DNA sequence: ATCTGATTTTGACATCGATCAAATCCGTGC
DNA sequence: GCACGGATTTGATCGATGTCAAAATCAGAT
């Protein structure tokens, strides 16, 4: 008896693609047997349409999440109501897991940025599991470590690089390693990419047009690079 | 047989103040008995004068550290050689512990920003301990969680607030909660505070002078606030 | 294929913060 | 108390990015 209203969040069975994503997260990829079963039983699946709130800053943190498909925006508001994205979560990313032992309230808002399916983990249940099962504790550590490293990279990136450099970085991380021509396709709207890089959408657009003179062509979601090596030089 | 050359790093016994700081870190505060003893045996004490390198980006990560006294600057360089601080570590802060399970190379440079004493933990030894002792794994999780939260706050702060707002935030976090007048003393040079807030030293100075009209007076390292409540309003 | 609304781009402008240089301040050692 | 050197402040300027408005483009629905 699945929910069919596409507005509603609902408990669904995992489809194959979502299951594959879930099993490759740092959280679950190293687990097996009993630990895996117990983690799965602390989990439920939630589907949401675009622009739905997952939680709000200050609310009681009784679950953390893993993105299975779609995208999630984590953001804060300043006094004037201006929003700033802190992180964009893609399939495979976990968020709010730092509250397992880091506090009891959510520290930011979370909202879908597309139709999105999430794995929802009960915070207290996983807390208990981490105390009991050694490999679950280790999985938590691995996940937190990776997450901390990317967040520190984000700070460094913000403070060290200009908009065109950040965009070039983003493109290069998704290009083949050798130096020739390449073509990639953005998996989401430019809007989101802007937030991911800490830019206003207009600034992203201008960064792309700055990169044109370095051989970067943008048409819709498709980005073509004439010479990957040349792009590396700034 | 202590080292006496003040240029040298050396293995020293913990003095009482340093020991107290160490025991209050998220890493050790929850440990007792055997776990504590084993952690302490994976640790050594290192003393360095100002501006000494602790490790460099790209080096093999065979230890992580906890600041006992003094300050440590974590920073990266861009292509032109400009430095950007990623984090300033104060007494009680741990750094590079995310490499326990997050990679094998240091991701940034670490350098003392004052005469500094560090607790040095052997990475592999702690890795092994975390697998064996449940409470050590939990301590690692707690430490990583707190660290991740402050780093995400840092991103949000950078993206959301102007220089004077960040300075006001810093001051307010160190003021009494009630609204009256207050006075605080910076524990380090303004240089470091600038790095901590992601600002050039000149920008910090100008932020202070902007805050003068909100009743903030700066003389040397002493900051006086006429009305804490007023400062909260931006 | 066309229409319509949302997304993206472009333009004009304001603001913030970085940079460089010079002046001033402060703390330390004598 | 004084002199020195490093730290901080101030001034002038520049470049980068945010903001607002309008034009252009894209994508989904009819």
Chain B residues in contact with A137 (beta carbon < 8 A): 134, 137-138, 141
Q: Which residues contact A46 (CB under 8 A, 6 or more apart)?
A: A9, A10, A11, A65, A117, A118, A119, A120
Q: Which of the 145-204 residues on chain B come under 7 Å of nucleic strand D at their beta carbon?
A: 189-191, 201-202, 204
Q: Is A168 on the interface with B (CB under 8 A)?
A: no
Asked if B203 and B162 count as a contact pair (C-beta separation under 8 A), the reply is no
Mean pLDDT of A166-180: 89
**Alpha-carbon torsion B213, B154, A78, B199, what sign?**
positive
Distance, CA of A46 to CA of A11 (rounded, Å)? 6
Residue-wise pLDDT tens digits, B118-130? 999 999 999 999 9
Asked if B74 and A156 count as a contact pair (C-beta separation under 8 A), the reply is no
* pLDDT-above-70 percentage for chain A: 95
* A75-95 exposure pattern, b = at least 16 Cβ within 10 A, e = fewer: bbebeeeeebbbbbbebbbbb
Same CATH fold assignment for domains A16-160 and A163-232: no
pTM of the model: 0.91
Q: Which helix (H) or strand (E) holds B81?
A: none
Residue extents of the structural domains in chain B = 16-160, 163-232
Chain B residues in contact with A86 (beta carbon < 8 A): 152, 155-156, 159
Return the residue matching tokens 């897991």.
A97
Torsion-angle region of residue A55: left (phi > 0), alpha (psi -120 to 50) or beta?
beta
- Position B11 scores a pLDDT of 57
Question: Does residue A8 register a pLDDT over 50?
Answer: no
Torsion-angle region of residue A86: left (phi > 0), alpha (psi -120 to 50) or beta?
alpha
Chain A residues in contact with B144 (beta carbon < 8 A): 98, 141, 144-145, 148
Annotation: CATH topology of A163-232:
Arc Repressor Mutant, subunit A (1.10.10)
How many helices (H) does chain B have, and how many strands (E)? 9, 11
Torsion angle, CA of A55/A59/A61/A63, rounded to 10 degrees? -30
Inter-chain residue contact B159 with A100, CB threshold 8 Å? no
Residue-wise pLDDT tens digits, A104-152? 999 999 999 999 999 999 999 999 999 898 999 999 999 999 999 999 9
Task: Give chain B's mean pLDDT.
Answer: 90
Mean pLDDT of B160-167: 95
Residue-wise pLDDT tens digits, B85-109? 999 999 999 999 999 998 999 999 9
Question: Does residue B204 register a pLDDT over 90?
Answer: yes
Asked if A133 and A180 count as a contact pair (C-beta separation under 8 A), the reply is no
**Domain A16-160: which CATH number of 3.40.190.80, 3.40.390.10, 3.30.870.10, 2.60.120.10:** 2.60.120.10
Mean pLDDT of B32-42: 90
> How many angstroms from the chain centroid is the CA of residue B198?
14
Residue-wise pLDDT tens digits, B205-220? 999 999 999 999 998 8
Question: Does residue A166 register a pLDDT over 80?
Answer: yes
Q: Which residues touch strand C (CB under 7 A)?
A: A 189-191, 201-202, 204-206, 208-209, 218; B 82, 162-164, 198-200, 202-203, 207, 219-221
Question: Does residue A20 register a pLDDT over 70?
Answer: yes
Of A108, A141, A149, Cβ closest to residue B103: A149
């Amino acid at each position: 008896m699945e929910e069919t209203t596409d507005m509603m969040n609902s408990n669904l069975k995992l489809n194959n693609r979502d299951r594959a994503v879930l099993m490759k997260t740092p959280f679950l990829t190293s687990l097996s047997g009993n630990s895996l079963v117990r983690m799965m039983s602390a989990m439920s699946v939630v589907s949401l349409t675009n622009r739905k709130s997952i939680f709000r800053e200050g609310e009681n943190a009784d679950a953390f999440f893993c993105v299975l498909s779609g995208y999630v925006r984590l953001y804060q508001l300043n006094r004037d109501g201006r929003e700033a994205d802190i992180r964009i979560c893609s399939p495979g990313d976990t968020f709010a897991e730092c509250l397992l032992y880091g506090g009891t309230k959510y520290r930011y808002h979370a909202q879908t940025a597309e139709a999105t399916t999430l794995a929802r983990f009960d915070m207290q249940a996983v807390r208990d599991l981490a105390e009991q099962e050694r490999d679950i504790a280790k999985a938590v550590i691995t996940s937190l470590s990776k997450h901390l490293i990317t967040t520190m990279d984000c700070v460094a990136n913000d403070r060290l690089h200009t908009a065109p450099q950040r965009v070039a970085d983003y493109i290069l991380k998704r290009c083949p390693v050798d130096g020739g021509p390449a073509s990639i396709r953005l998996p989401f709207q430019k809007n989101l990419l802007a937030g991911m890089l800490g830019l206003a959408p207009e600034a992203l657009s201008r960064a792309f047009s700055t990169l044109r003179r370095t051989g970067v062509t943008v048409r819709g979601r498709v980005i073509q690079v004439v010479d990957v090596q040349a792009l590396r030089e700034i």
